[in-house]
């Protein structure tokens, strides 16, 4: 994140003697991005984080794109994706390019291992569910509507609350995910025009130090493969840390919408940015208040980006046939816009209760075989009004 935070106990000066009650030194681990030039945090372990006892190739997440047929708008119904496995194993990759992979997950179990993605940052949008996000940085309770932003290098696991259905959208990026630079001043502080600020960010709240011996598995995703490392002590043995690199939660309900007299463009909804993409939050808000305003969005031609929308809640007023957990993909090159009747139908409406997450990518996305299995084949033709059908 953009500001300094600390939890637990740390010595007054970094890289100086800091001893455990038994007289042994604590073991430092600096986690830094962009070599030593980016944000970083310094962690203090009970034991060295380097003592690997066994290495096993877990699996290569082989997710070949299976794009088929002509370029067309896509509608994927993900509501019926099977719920099983833990928060990583349950991931169903749906679309990807060289910058990111987007998919959904419906975990039913706690992770029995800890996980680190070394290829880039991750965002998990919790559409439904609650539980604990546990990391070396401490405990973070998550709930419906949270974005969990996990920097690369963070060791974590998710423990869903028992009996609570979980539904997640995930983005695995090949780089770092940050608030848009235009929301921040040169000191890294959120500016007044930003739709959210530091008070809306939830850092890890409680650091629990595990001093346990046994057999503990850490899975690392790097170079597009997952490798298991077995350690003989609990990996969450951190007694304190400080720095700017830490996982956090930000709830979509804390995104303050920017509205205007006439229709505001998608950048006002921007929440995060990453290499080759932006992420926007469409939240319940008042509609445009010019006396002649048309609240429905206008047709537009995204000639050099692919637009992905994940529909979480409410009537997404510009589209028909869309349900909760639907994903639409409007690829570059084809104009798109509201369904027939929605311009007129939107006039005079005062507010919307829609809740959706948008991801615009600057490189073309390709679908996986899992996405093709969820496709609504009629969607590309759904802009023809009923009176036109049969002509």
* Residue appearing with tokens 């749906």: 94
Encoded one letter per residue, x for contact with Fe ion by CB under 5 A and - for no contact, window 303-322 reads ----x---------------
| Binding-residue total with Fe ion (CB under 5 A) | 1
Q: Closer to Fe ion by CB, 237 or 307: give it.
A: 307
Calculate the alpha carbon distances from 301 to 35, 99, 247, 278, 307 in Å: 39, 22, 36, 17, 10
Side-chain-side CA neighbours of 73 within 13 Å: the count stands at: 21
Spatial distance between the Cα atoms of 3 and 1, rounded to a whole number of angstroms: 6
Residue whose CB is nearest to Fe ion in the complex, by number: 307
Supply the minimum distance, in Å, between the C-beta of residue 302 and Fe ion. 6
By beta-carbon proximity to Fe ion, the closer residue of 273 and 307 is 307
- Considering beta carbons, is residue 306 or 307 the nearer one to Fe ion? 307
How far apart are the C-alpha atoms of 166 and 146, rounded to whole Å? 12
Shortest distance, CB of residue 300 to Fe ion, whole angstroms?
6
Residue 41 or 352: the one with the smaller Cβ distance to Fe ion is: 352
Q: Is 352 helix (H, G, I), strand (E, B) or coil?
A: strand
- Residue 65 CA to residue 285 CA, distance in Å, equals 37
Closest to Fe ion by CB, 65 or 337:
337
Compare residues 121 and 307 and give the one whose CB is closer to Fe ion.
307
Task: Give the shortest CB-127-to-Fe ion separation in angstroms.
Answer: 20
Nearest distance from residue 68's CB to Fe ion, in Å?
23
CB burial class (10 A; 0-12, 13-18, 19+) of residue 46? buried
Contacts of 51 (CB under 8 A, 6+ apart): 231, 232, 233
Residue with tokens 């848009």: 180
Residues 334-373 touching Fe ion, rule: CB under 5 A, are none
Residues 4-43 that bind Fe ion (CB under 5 A): none
Least distance to Fe ion, CB of residue 386, Å: 23
CB of 273 to Fe ion, least distance (A): 18
Indicate if the alpha-carbon torsion angle 283, 109, 223, 63 is positive or negative.
negative
Using the minimum distance from each CB to Fe ion, give the nearer residue, 178 or 273.
Answer: 273
Give the range of 52-60, 155-163, 225-233, 300-308 binding Fe ion by CB under 5 A.
300-308
Q: Cβ of residue 336: shortest distance to Fe ion, in angstroms?
A: 6
Q: Please name the helix (run of DSSP H) or strand (run of DSSP E) that holds residue 369, with its range, or none.
A: helix 369-372
Report in angstroms how near the CB of residue 324 gets to Fe ion at its nearest: 19
Nearer Cβ to Fe ion (136/352): 352
Three-state secondary structure readout of 279-340: EEEECCEECCCCCCCCCCCCCECCCCCEEEEEEEECCCCCCCCCCCCEEEEECCCCCECCCC
CB 177 within 8 A of CB 245: no
The least CB distance from residue 285 to Fe ion, in Å, is: 17
Which lies closer to Fe ion via its Cβ, residue 2 or residue 259?
Answer: 259
Nearer to Fe ion, 116 or 330 (CB): 330
Q: Which stretch binds Fe ion (CB under 5 A): 124-132, 179-187, 299-307, 361-369?
A: 299-307
Buried b (16+ CB within 10 A) or exposed e, 250-261: bbbebbeeeeee
- As measured in angstroms, the least distance from the Cβ of 330 to Fe ion is 6
Looking at 116-124, 144-152, 224-232, 301-309, which segment touches Fe ion (CB under 5 A)? 301-309
DSSP state of 235: S
Cα 254 from Cα 288, distance rounded (Å): 20
| Distance set, CA 155 to CA 16, 220, 236 (Å) | 25, 9, 9
What residue ranges bind Fe ion (CB under 5 A)? 307
């Amino acid at each position: 994140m953009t500001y300094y935070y600390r939890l637990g106990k740390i010595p007054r000066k970094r890289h100086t003697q800091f001893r455990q009650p038994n007289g042994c030194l604590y073991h430092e681990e600096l986690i830094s991005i962009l070599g030593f030039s980016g944000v970083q945090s310094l962690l203090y372990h009970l034991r060295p984080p380097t003592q690997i006892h066994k290495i096993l190739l877990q699996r290569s997440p082989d997710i070949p794109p299976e794009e088929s047929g002509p370029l067309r708008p896509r509608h994927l119904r993900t509501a019926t994706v099977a719920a099983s496995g833990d928060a990583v194993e349950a991931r169903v990759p749906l679309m990807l390019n060289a910058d990111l992979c987007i998919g959904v997950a419906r975990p039913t179990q706690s992770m029995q291992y800890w996980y680190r993605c070394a290829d880039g940052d991750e965002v998990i949008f919790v559409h439904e569910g609650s539980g604990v996000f546990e990391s070396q940085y401490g405990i973070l309770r998550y709930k419906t509507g949270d974005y969990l932003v996990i920097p690369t290098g963070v060791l974590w696991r998710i423990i869903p609350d028992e009996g609570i259905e979980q539904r997640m959208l995930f983005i695995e990026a090949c780089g770092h995910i940050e608030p848009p630079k235009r929301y921040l001043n040169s000191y890294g502080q959120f500016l007044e025009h930003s739709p959210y600020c530091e008070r809306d960010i939830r850092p890890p709240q409680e650091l629990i130090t595990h001093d346990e011996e046994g057999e503990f598995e850490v899975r690392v995703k790097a170079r597009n493969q997952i490798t298991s490392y077995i350690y003989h002590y609990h990996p969450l043995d951190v007694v304190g840390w400080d720095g700017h690199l830490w996982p956090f939660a930000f709830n979509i309900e804390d995104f303050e919408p920017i509205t205007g007299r006439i229709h505001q463009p998608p950048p006002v909804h921007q929440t995060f940015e990453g290499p080759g993409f932006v992420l926007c939050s469409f939240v319940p808000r008042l509609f445009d208040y010019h006396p002649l305003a048309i609240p429905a969005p206008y047709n537009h031609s995204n000639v050099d980006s692919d637009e992905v929308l994940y529909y979480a809640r409410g009537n997404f007023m510009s589209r028909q046939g869309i349900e909760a957990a639907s994903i639409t993909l409007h690829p570059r090159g084809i104009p798109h816009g509201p369904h027939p009747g929605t311009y007129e139908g939107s006039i005079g409406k005062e507010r919307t209760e829609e809740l959706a997450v948008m991801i615009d990518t600057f490189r073309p996305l390709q679908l996986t075989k899992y996405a093709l299995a969820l496709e609504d084949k009629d969607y590309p033709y759904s802009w023809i009004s009923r009176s036109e059908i049969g002509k």
